[in-house]
Structure 1
Amino acid sequence: MGAQVEHVDAVVVGSGFGASVSAYRLAEAGRSVVVLERGRAYPPGSFARNPYEMSRAFWEPKDELFGLFDIRSFRKLEGIVSAGLGGGSLIYANVLLRKDERWFVHDSPLPGGGYENWPIGRSDLDRHYDAVEAMMTPSPNPYPDLPKSKALRDAAVSLGMPSFAPPLAVTFAPRPGAAPQPKQMIEEPAYGNIHGATRLTCRLCGECDIGCNEGSKNTLDHNYLSAAAAKGADIRTLAEVYGIVPLPGGGYEVRYRQYGTEAEADGKRSRTETRITCDQLLLGAGTFGTTALLLRNRANLPALGRALGSRFSGNGDLITFCMDATSTSEAGQIRFIDPTYGPVITTAIRQPDGVDEAGRGRGYYVQEAGFPEFANWLIETSQVTSSLKTAAAVVRQMVGNRLSGRNESTISAEVAKLVGQGRLTSSSLPLLGMGRDTPDGRMTIRDGELDIEWTTATSAAYFDAMRSTMKEITETLGGTFRDNPLWWTKRVITVHPLGGSPMGRHVHEGVVDNWNESFGHPDLFVVDGSAVPGPVGPNPSLTIAAMADRAIEHILEKPRTKRRAPAVPAEPEVEVAPVVDPVPGRSMEFTEKMKGYIALGAADSMTGWRTGRRLSQRFMFKLTITAPDVERFVSTEDHTAVAEGYVACDLLGGELPVQRGWANLFVDTDQARTREMRYRLWFSDISGTPYTMYGFKTVRDDPGLDIWSDTSTLYIRIMKGHVPPGENGADDGTVQAIAAGMLRILPQDFARQLTTFRGAGRGPLASIGRFGMFFGKSVADAYLPPAPPHETAGAPEGAAR
């Protein structure tokens, strides 16, 4: 009997823009909803500010870090995303802009082949944009005279570029219709607040990107998630999903790891493996999270299209710096920019795209990007040479006063010099660009970790044009242009990763259709930035939320399939002979490593190898093969040894331990002078689904020198479940394979293998020698012609008999 597990109408993975919208709309419609968010909740006042808190504010569970910032490094870019209730809204810069109507491109060629295609347009999203804005209540910056806002506007006017104040999801006034005023209590909405904490209006501190401790930001936990919880949604934090398994009758089993409770201290967190089933599964874990989850569970989701992992884009993100601006104001004073005063972004410049009437190339936006007030101190004190010179001059003056006997007890002016004028920070401005870069990146799992193959080279013209605009802005402000140091190696930092599970017009183009539903797996939806088939251009949050709102509306319009809570089938107990302990003095072992390629859906090993090689779908194992009793191993017909170690396959989630393994070496077959070396390995993929690898080497003398290829080539099949040895197993092909391929021993690995032979007991060489005799005889029997029979008839008289 299977165990009854918790069942709900919908499981929502993640709590970012797409996930939060989905949770609220479904709960509002009366569906039972569970939200699984890997990070913790962050009520106002809980975001890190001091050095100790910041040291723990990063996400890396294997190192006992369960903080807000998840920082990734790939081949040609860095990515910054968040882990917390509210997803990316906790650290984004509040900008809610709609995607330009003409930027929903069709058949826009990509350098490596294929096209950027948007199966939906602006008209499909406009009323959903309206719905999201009604909940998020964005408004332009109500303080137009902020120095940094005015600086970018003035530069735009000088360059003949249009600028505007974008809508910001920030609460500046205590209630709708009231005048903006900092640090006032915000009127609570009818649905309440999930944190039960007081929120205050924006105090213009520039801390938007590191978490708003006032609660001024209209982050998703303060609106959509609070509203979803009020409608009955069950929101669970510190719950990281790792497994997805389709159920036979429809729906999905979701497997997640619960990292204790909010109250537990990091470093002492309990970890519980938990399962839940649902009729509909909505993935909103972000571009990195959702795509990696699907890639790791691809064996469980075989109908996913080959577009999985494609169309990655950084939304054209690039950050540069206008340093030490010196241009004067109209009053003749040195310009004071003060980038820390005000929301992080308040002003934007839009450069048109080639698809626009007056544009050329790829369009982009440039926005000013402020930083927190406390960063001023870090930046100013980092100017070590200047600070030391100033300090030395102040000390000299004070010592001179004492030596001369001059009494000057007031030293305020000297201390003021020590603090400095703060000119560098007050006259500098980060510039953030984003737009229509080329969405030709590829996401894969490599060595069990997410990997992205992406380059600025195919978007070189786009980045050159945007940097040119940023240089012109800097020159207009009388500053010095500085690239992000990573740009020197043609790397960028993206805070807007998109794609990987793209929307498409058909299964050969996308992972999901234009309603965000998987082509091959009904009721599996992708509702975050990974479903976006190309760059949004402006800040993408609003578009992601609107796409999710549209998808959920479509779900709610369809006839509802109501399923009962299914019983999760218990893994059948497979009865096999227990592992025999090594016999003292008579055991022998060696280590073997084989590498190759497999392909899902392939039944033939050679076909699977060719396809897997083309797609770089690797499979390998490293095994320690032990004969517990060499004499028994040699004398029995099946020549069974114990195989222990691991398999590694990114299609199945990375490095996976072998739970039980058999190696049958040089087993006789029905064919004359043909023997097989058979391997059977039980393991489970990253989701916990059991699999069996069965492989064989055919040892037979064919024309040519084939002894090396025979003994170094393993033809394998991967089957679901732990298939036991024997005729009813997979040896005869009666169990259907989900994948097939071929492995080989590389010459260098074979050379190392020869050094791994170990015997046991007082005479270890005897065990090795006995195995060596068996090995040599088996090879000779297969490859050397049989000795001619002794002819005794007609022998000369007196010959020996």
Structure 2
Amino acid sequence: MTWQRLETDTLPRTARAVVIGSGYGGGVVAARIAADLPPGETLILERGREWLPGEFPDSWSTVQRNVRTPRNPMGLFDLALGTDVDRLVGCGLGGGSLINAGVMLQPLPDVFDDVWPAPIDADELAPHVERVLEVLKPTTVTTPPDRTRPLEKLARRHGVAVTAVPVAISHRPPGENGFGFHQTSCTGCGNCMTGCNIGAKTTVHASYLPLAARRGAAIVTRTEVRTIVPSPDPTHRWRLTGWRYEYELTHYRRVEFTLDADVVVLAAGALGSTGILLRSARAGLPLSTALGTRFSGNGDAIAISYNSATVRQSGIGAADQQNPDLDVGPTITRMLDMRTESPGYVVQDAAVPWPIAQLLRRLLGARFALARDSRVYCDLRPGGCPVGCSALEHSQTWLAMGNDSAAGVVRLDARGEPVIRWTNAGQQEVYKAQHADFAALSEYAESTFVTNPRHAVLNRGIAARSPITVHPLGGAPMAESVEQGVVDDGGRVFAPSGGIHEGLYVLDGAICPRSVGANPALTIAALAERGAAKIRESGILHQAVGASPIEGALS
């Protein structure tokens, strides 16, 4: 099967509307506003490259080659190991949807507490949630895989039921979906989080972005926006500056660009959008003093039940993604829901993708080599052992999300890149509760409890002091006023002198003022749907730009 690329290589000098980022925020907004503008007047800028099914990493060596670094800016995996918080996000056309599990969970209504602007609550978001679900069409796995049995035991201990998790993965016969993207049926290989090479996952690249392109949006990849300031050209409101990445023989070369636009929507992710705003503030754009605050890791946590005494688990992705030897299923299938407790959280089963498993075999094998266990030796044996006999193939990964304090702060380092500062982030009660459940799951699985794998290897299994997040939120929180936040309930950027910066928006995870206690993709996409609707209703897409285009910005 040959998939059609969406990207174009031509970067215009001007555009009516520019959307920075292409994930659950940017892809959604672009698809909606493109319907109101002539072809070519909506521009999507993505810092990474376009990935088609079949191009994603399928071995540990290709994963290594696709970790994003300054010398490898097109890497799919943007990983940063911090002193306070580790984080992993996606880099590519489709954003985080390329490497997430595609879970579509609604937050509980009480998540929308008084830190959100008054208009934002579950009822207000409900119609926008429905629009997202209509596009992504999540489904559940009917029969739970064997790896969920310990989760069922833990649920009985807590007096709750294990529930099926809706995931945006196609189980329909192969063919074009409603947006012109060819999708196949899920093979159950379990490799969702290193990128779906089958073409079954309904990513933003397989849904909203083809819709945006069909409506005339131009999509330009390998383009990283660094700052946004008022344009000196009176016919445009905003000037974007940044880098285009051009490949030369062995490396990427950065080429500076400038681009003028009338409407700009920041949707580069919690750290990406916050970083752009922080650099723009350094360049002179007046912004709220709340910029960089209310960062949340969404209470994310990970653990492994290693080398279970029970039968082989379905917790490792298959090497053959077209014809897996074991029905692993999607990455996440079931959930223990403890969100009504204090602190609230969820625990989910997970399958480690095959490429990542090849690293874990060696790391955990070396960690437990003195156990004198033949399964561990299989993981360490050069060339491996027959399928099904290793310690890692008898292991299970668990994920958790919950309500953290959202007390992190995002600042710029010496290179102008966003970093997270959050003293004692890992000592919050939510992590202690998750840690206790992870330990119980390992006991039920008759296995060895391994906390955050990085800390398990480096710190010999002690509890992680710094958590890892794959769902960063906040940094440009929405609020009622400029004193409390960076944007209003529609994502419009506040001007400190009063009013808003006309034509400048943030619509992605950066605007969430707290954790959502579950996988946040559906919430982010719903906020983007609502924000896009407000942009369209405001008439700004068709509004003439005057000589004094913005209120409260630079003179």
Question: TM (normalized to structure 2)?
Answer: 0.84
- Deviation (angstroms), 1:291: 0.5
**Change beyond 3 A, Cα 1:170–1:118:** farther
Distance 1:563 1:140 in 2: 44
- Deviation (angstroms), 1:236: 0.3
- Deviation (angstroms), 1:63: 1.5
- Deviation (angstroms), 1:301: 5.1
Task: Deviation per CA, 1:257-312: give whole Å up to 9, x if none.
Answer: 2213xxx4663445432222221100000111111111011044533111000000
Letter in 1 for 2:503: D
Distance 1:495 1:432 in 2: 11
- List aligned pairs for 1:259-278, cutoff 5 A: 259-260=245-246, 264=247, 267-278=250-261
> Is contact 1:527–1:548 with CA below 8 Å preserved after alignment?
yes
Distance 1:118 1:437 in 2: 21
- List aligned pairs for 1:136-215, cutoff 5 A: 136-142=136-142, 144-174=143-173, 186-193=174-181, 198-215=182-199
Give 2:77's aligned residue. Answer: 69
Give 1:246's aligned residue. Answer: 230
> Is contact 2:184–2:198 with CA below 8 Å preserved after alignment?
yes
- Residue from 530, 549, 557 that aligns with 2:537: 557
Give 2:485's aligned residue. Answer: 510
Give 1:281's aligned residue. Answer: 264
| 2:331 aligned with 1:347 | no
More strand by share: 1
Task: Deviation per CA, 1:9-49: give whole Å up to 9, x if none.
Answer: 21000111000000000012235210000000000100122
Q: Which moved more, 1:266-275 or 1:128-137?
A: 266-275
- Residue from 27, 31, 34 that aligns with 2:34: 27
**Change beyond 3 A, Cα 1:535–1:376:** closer
**Change beyond 3 A, Cα 1:564–1:506:** closer
- Residue from 359, 372, 376 that aligns with 2:353: 372
Unaligned runs of 5+ in 1: 108-115, 175-185, 327-333, 354-358, 395-414, 568-600, 602-719, 721-737, 739-801
**Change beyond 3 A, Cα 1:416–1:450:** closer
**Change beyond 3 A, Cα 1:118–1:53:** farther
- List aligned pairs for 1:686-705, cutoff 5 A: none
> Is contact 1:69–1:83 with CA below 8 Å preserved after alignment?
yes
- Residue from 334, 337, 341 that aligns with 2:313: 337
> Is contact 1:315–1:535 with CA below 8 Å preserved after alignment?
yes
- 3-state DSSP class of the match of 1:66? coil
**Change beyond 3 A, Cα 1:258–1:446:** closer
> Is contact 2:425–2:467 with CA below 8 Å preserved after alignment?
no
Give 1:255's aligned residue. Answer: 241
**Change beyond 3 A, Cα 1:292–1:417:** closer
- Deviation (angstroms), 1:469: 2.1
**Change beyond 3 A, Cα 1:275–1:425:** same
- Residue from 494, 508, 514 that aligns with 1:534: 514
Give 1:126's aligned residue. Answer: 126
Give 2:446's aligned residue. Answer: 478
**Change beyond 3 A, Cα 1:288–1:428:** same
Give 2:321's aligned residue. Answer: none
Distance 1:558 1:68 in 2: 36
- Residue from 470, 492, 497 that aligns with 2:472: 497
Question: TM (normalized to structure 1)?
Answer: 0.59
> Is contact 2:225–2:241 with CA below 8 Å preserved after alignment?
yes
- Residue from 434, 438, 442 that aligns with 2:405: 438
Distance 2:51 2:295 in 1: 30
> Is contact 1:390–1:417 with CA below 8 Å preserved after alignment?
no
Letter in 2 for 1:40: R
> Is contact 2:177–2:183 with CA below 8 Å preserved after alignment?
no
**Change beyond 3 A, Cα 1:237–1:272:** same
**Change beyond 3 A, Cα 1:237–1:418:** closer
Distance 2:60 2:463 in 1: 29
Distance 1:556 1:230 in 2: 18
- Deviation (angstroms), 1:472: 2.4
> Is contact 1:158–1:476 with CA below 8 Å preserved after alignment?
no
Distance 1:203 1:318 in 2: 27
- Deviation (angstroms), 1:344: 1.0
Q: Which moved more, 1:11-20 or 1:443-452?
A: 443-452
**Change beyond 3 A, Cα 1:214–1:265:** farther
Unaligned runs of 5+ in 2: 1-11, 317-327, 456-461, 496-500
| 2:56 aligned with 1:53 | no
Give 1:308's aligned residue. Answer: 291
Distance 2:227 2:383 in 1: 59
- 3-state DSSP class of the match of 2:134? helix
Give 1:775's aligned residue. Answer: none
Root mean square deviation of aligned Cα: 3.0
- Deviation (angstroms), 1:564: 6.6
Count of paired positions: 504
Distance 2:502 2:434 in 1: 42
> Is contact 2:132–2:526 with CA below 8 Å preserved after alignment?
yes
| 2:45 aligned with 1:78 | no
- 3-state DSSP class of the match of 1:128? helix
Give 1:110's aligned residue. Answer: none
Give 1:39's aligned residue. Answer: 48
- 3-state DSSP class of the match of 1:59? coil
- Deviation (angstroms), 1:422: 2.2
Task: Deviation per CA, 1:187-242: give whole Å up to 9, x if none.
Answer: 2034323xxxx542211111111111111111111110011001100000101111
- 3-state DSSP class of the match of 2:281? coil
- List aligned pairs for 1:661-680, cutoff 5 A: none
**Change beyond 3 A, Cα 1:537–1:558:** same
- List aligned pairs for 1:106-121, cutoff 5 A: 106=114, 120-121=120-121
Give 2:200's aligned residue. Answer: 216
**Change beyond 3 A, Cα 1:187–1:483:** same
> Is contact 1:117–1:533 with CA below 8 Å preserved after alignment?
no
**Change beyond 3 A, Cα 1:83–1:418:** closer
Q: Quick one: percent identity of the two aligned structures? A: 33
- Residue from 229, 235, 238 that aligns with 2:213: 229
Letter in 1 for 2:392: T
Point out the structure with max Rg over C-alpha.
1
